[in-house]
Every structure is written in C-alpha cells, then in structure tokens.
Amino acid sequence: MSPRLSRWCALSALLGGALSVVVGLLVLLAPGYYLFDSPSDYLVAVAEGAALLAVLGGIVGLHLAQRSESGKLGGAGFLLSSAGLVMAGAGHLIGLPFFVFLNTGGIVYVLIGLSQGVPLVWGAIYILGTLLLSVGVLLLGIATVRARTLPIWCGPVLILGLAALWSLGNAFGWFSFGVSWLALGPALRASGAEPTTGRRVA
C-alpha cells in the first residue's frame, strides 16, 4: 500500500474511532437518546452513522495492507464488513424515523412506519448491515492474525472492538469500539512505510 493511501486510510480509521468515542460520551450524557424526544437525541444517531462510514476507510486500509497474504478469507471478510458498514451507516443516517418506531414499541407507530415504507426499509438495511459487519470483521480479524503482515495484535483488537460494541451497551460499547480503531489507525499508517508483500511482522 502506498504511503499516501495508507495515510488516508489511517486518518479515516482515526476519525471513525474518535467519532465512536464521542458517541459513547454523548450516550452517557443522554442515556435516553433512543426515545428521540429532543434534537440532541438525533445527533447521537447521526454521529453513530458517521462513525461507521468513517471506519470503512480503516477496513479498506486493513485489506490493502495484507491482501496478498490474507487470501480468500481476508477477501470475504473485507467484502462483508465493507457492505455491512455502508448499510449500517446509511441506515443510521437515512432511516432515523425507524429508530423512533422501533424503540417506542407502540403498535400504532409500527403501523405508521409500515404505511410510510421507506423508514422501515432503511431500518431493515441497518439491521442486515450490522449482521454482515459482524461476520465480516470476524473473518477479517482471523485473516489478519494468519497473514501476520500487520502486527499480530491488530486482528484480536479488531474483533474485540466489535464484540464490545455488541456486548457492553451503547455508551461503553461505542467507547471501546472507538478505542480499538484509534489503536489500529497508527498501525495502518505504518503499513505504508515500506512494501508489505511477503513481509511478515511478529
């Protein structure tokens, strides 16, 4: 990967990590944001979507840095995680009304959502995106460990960051996810310092 491309991928990863940390802090300040009863609540969802889309640059960097070593497993992980990030990020940014209907749990809001159609479609895209992202990151993390082109800790950190997002709740989950990408960013930047083909890092 060229130095210029590695720099941009690293910056995108760092931006995604920083935005994710901000999301975690915003959720701590407004734990009931999912009710969407104030303008600031929508800011959280927008920041979440932006963070996911920014992380996409980091995923691209991971793939390019090790594509000759990670094989079909890494390629599959890259495609699935990239598609998942785009779908989940777009679902957050475009399908905000869906989250209102989903989190209120009221049947009347679900019926309204069905009558409108579009919000629920984007909500479904978001859910499918998170599933694809999860499978893709798992495959990409395993491929990263096996390839050993990047530092060996990058694979586990990638997987643990997403696992934290699923398991620790909105605030600490997003914070941990962000920290993982803040750690991966410098590794991606260093990957462009010299050709990576055939180079294996302990």
Which residue, 128, 124, 158, 162, is CA-closest to 141? 158
**pLDDT value at position 138?**
93
Whether the per-residue pLDDT at 197 is higher than 50: the answer is no
**pLDDT value at position 139?**
93
Instruction: Please name the residues in contact with 117: beta carbons below 8 A apart, sequence gap of 6 or more.
Output: none
Q: Label residue 125 by pLDDT band (50, 70, 90).
A: confident
Q: What is the CA radius of gyration of the chain?
A: 18
Of 100 and 169, more confident: 169
Mean pLDDT for 181-190 is 87
Are 122 and 94 in contact by the 8 Å Cβ rule? The answer is yes
Sign of CA dihedral 120, 135, 181, 66: negative
Whether the per-residue pLDDT at 110 is higher than 70: the answer is no
**pLDDT value at position 181?**
92
